[in-house]
Amino acid sequence: MEKKNLDWENLTFSYQPIDKRYVAMYKDGAWQEGELSDDPNVVLNECAGVLQYAQQVFEGLKAYTTKDGHIVCFRPDLNARRMYDSAQRMEMPPYPKDKFVEAIKEVVQANAAWVPPYGTGATLYLRPYEFGYSSVIGVAPAKDYEFRIFGTPVGPYFKGGVKPITVRVSDFDRAAPRGTGHIKAGLNYAMSMHAIVTAHAEGFAENIYLDAATRTKVEETGGANILFVDQDGTLVVPKSDTILPSITRRSLVYVAEHYLNLKIDERPVYWQEVLDHKFVECGLCGTAAVISPIGRINDHGTIIDFPSGMEEIGPVMKKMRETLLGIQMGEVEAPEGWIMRIL
Ligand code: PLP
Ligand code: COI
């Protein structure tokens, strides 16, 4: 199979339509057989549930070319399960988990020429999503739904790749207690649009959100979970019911414990600990971001600089990043069941 002629090394995190996407419809109370489609457009009724009351959930995962030339995905079963949970919380019919994984395989196989070659640093980002398709005007779930998966070849999420970023503490909240912060629904990202636009305008790469109830605890950023390393070299992982259960974070915790012999401390992390310089490294983690080091946090003019600095990723985050990428690219042996070989 001949690869597409793209400038793989210089891809950014952006959308580019590729040959095939997967489409399945939910009608009359049941999921229909899905199929691949050439059409990147969705035509909707003006009163479709997704357009009126934002009934949408999504996922993000990647296809990688390994060192020995295979094409693989990383833990797609966890994306299938999380999307199932997200749909249930939104009163949407959940897409069957085994069919989700099969559909991922089909899309990647059909677009193998778009999966970036090994060694380029790029990957094929996959975006499964589901939305309310039929019309609703009184507040109620739609009757009919559409499930789709498209792919787009991507480079690093943040400009500069693994160069440390500067983030700020947001004045806005992302997720309410007992709200929807723990699921992956487009509405959570709509909540963060104003905060991200103003953050970018002020020169920050992302926002750190504090817990909405007390504004004393670290939650996550707009598109990733947060990790810290303390002075003893322990990986400190903020625990909260209102953040997304990141698959990257859960995998990194396993990698830190079983591959790197680090101590792990998963607990609520108080903002005051960050202000008190209790941590020597900080980073954000997610499918799109992998691990991006945070060099500096600006809390309304109070600057927290991490000892790892603004030039290089810190040593612990570096080891975690390299090990995880090594597992994903087939350079490091993966735990059982983490890698789904597609081609
Ligand atoms: N938190 C938020 C708000 C996200 O959008 C993402 C991205 O998916 C993550 C965390 C990281 O999750 P994952 O590692 O499963 O991609
Ligand atoms: C992902 O990492 O897959 C996400 O969905 C994050 C998004 C902000 C791009």
DSSP characters over 269-294: -BHHHHHTT-EEEEEEEETTTEEEEE
Instruction: Supply the pLDDT for residue 92.
Output: 98
Distances (CA, A) of 291 to 20, 165, 248: 29, 11, 9
Answer positive or negative: Cα dihedral of 200, 204, 208, 210: negative
Alpha carbon of 94 to ligand 2 centroid (Å): 20
The closest-lying atom of ligand 2 relative to the alpha carbon of residue 189 is: 8
**CB-count burial class (<10 Å; 0-12, 13-18, 19+) for 248:** buried
Residue 91: which region, alpha, beta or left (left: phi > 0; alpha: psi -120 to 50)? left
Bridge pairing between strands 71-74 and 56-58: unpaired
Instruction: Supply the pLDDT for residue 203.
Output: 97
Is the minimum distance from the CB of 227 to ligand 1 under 6 angstroms?
A: no
Instruction: Supply the pLDDT for residue 159.
Output: 82
Of all ligands present, the nearest one to the C-alpha of 74 is 1
CB atoms within 10 A of CB 220: 25
Is the minimum distance from the CB of 246 to ligand 1 under 6 angstroms?
A: yes
The model's confidence at residue 160, banded by pLDDT at 50, 70 and 90, is: confident
Clarify whether 184 is annotated catalytic: yes
The predicted model scores a pTM of 0.97
pLDDT digits (tens, 9 = 90+) for 242-295: 999 999 999 999 999 999 999 999 999 999 999 999 999 999 999 998 999 999
Radius of gyration of the chain (CA): 20
Is the minimum distance from the CB of 186 to ligand 2 under 6 angstroms?
A: no
Query: For the residues 2-19, what does the mean pLDDT come to?
Result: 96
The single-letter DSSP state of residue 95 is P
Nearest CA to ligand 2 atom 3: 60
Is the minimum distance from the CB of 245 to ligand 1 under 6 angstroms?
A: no
Reduce the DSSP state of residue 236 to 3 states and report it.
strand
> Catalytic one among 20, 62, 105, 184?
184
Instruction: Supply the pLDDT for residue 1.
Output: 81
